[in-house]
């Protein structure tokens, strides 16, 4: 049985071409990348695709990794950039963010893959997917991934003040979006009896 390696040893082994070490790396960072990607894109096959792409890009860019940030931050940055590209691509394909809040929620509530999640997770997803990406990004990094405001600012290459104001505005908007659902008490069990 293999013992768990620290990041430095893992990276060294991956650079030496050890595929098992890369698999171990994926297993170690899957939950972090999943939280970021699913937070940004919502659950579903597109999110998994971006998750896979994140690790593949990381693998290919590893020789250029200088260790200026932690490996986790580096992977998150790749994931966030891929998510933002995907959101831009989606935006070109179809406009999800229509002006009416109810329509936005409907659009997300009927996305495949949201049926079997627990209530709070569904509620979070509903709200997040209706948020403008610039607010969604800071909320995902700061409140879901648990990065500090400074780390969030560094990942997004934004001033800390901007991160703080987007965070506040994002939370306010999220509250507004979720308000009708809070009021109903059984907000998302629309398909129930």
**Residues found near other proteins in the complex (CB under 8 A):** 19, 22-23, 26-27, 30-32, 34-35, 38-39, 42-43, 47-48, 51-52, 55-56, 59, 117, 120-121, 123-125, 128, 139, 143-144, 146, 149, 164, 167-168, 171-172, 174-175, 178
Smaller CB separation from other proteins, 73 or 113:
113
Q: In whole angstroms, what is the distance from residue 28 CA to residue 102 CA?
A: 38
Ramachandran area for residue 67 (φ above 0: left; ψ -120 to 50: alpha; else beta): left
Smaller CB separation from other proteins, 60 or 92:
60
Of 107, 106, 97, 86, the residue nearest 41 (C-alpha): 86
Smaller CB separation from other proteins, 70 or 121:
121
149 touches 117 (CB < 8 A): no
Beta carbon of residue 54, minimum distance to other proteins (angstroms, whole number): 9
Q: Burial of 131 by CB count in 10 Å (0-12 exposed, 13-18 middle, 19+ buried)?
A: buried
The residue whose two tokens read 């082994």 is 13
Smaller CB separation from other proteins, 35 or 107:
35
Beta carbon of residue 67, minimum distance to other proteins (angstroms, whole number): 23
Beta carbon of residue 149, minimum distance to other proteins (angstroms, whole number): 6
117 touches 43 (CB < 8 A): yes
Beta carbon of residue 121, minimum distance to other proteins (angstroms, whole number): 5
Beta carbon of residue 69, minimum distance to other proteins (angstroms, whole number): 21
């Amino acid at each position: 049985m293999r013992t768990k390696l620290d990041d430095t040893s893992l990276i060294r082994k991956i650079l030496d071409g050890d595929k098992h070490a890369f698999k171990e790396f994926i297993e170690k960072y899957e939950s972090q990348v999943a939280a970021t990607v699913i937070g940004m894109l919502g659950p579903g096959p597109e999110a998994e695709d971006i998750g896979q792409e994140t690790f593949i890009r990381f693998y290919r860019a590893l020789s250029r990794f200088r260790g200026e940030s932690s490996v986790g931050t580096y992977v998150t940055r790749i994931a966030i950039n891929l998510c933002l590209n995907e959101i831009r691509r989606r935006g070109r394909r179809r406009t999800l963010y229509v002006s009416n809040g109810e329509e936005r929620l409907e659009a997300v509530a009927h996305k495949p893959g949201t049926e079997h999640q627990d209530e709070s997770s569904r509620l979070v997803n509903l709200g997040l997917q209706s948020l403008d990406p610039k607010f969604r990004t800071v909320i995902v990094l700061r409140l879901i991934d648990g990065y500090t405001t400074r780390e969030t600012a560094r990942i997004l290459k934004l001033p800390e003040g901007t991160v703080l104001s987007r965070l506040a505005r994002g939370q306010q908007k999220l509250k507004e979006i979720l308000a009708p659902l809070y009021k109903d008490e059984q907000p998302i069990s629309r398909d129930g009896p």
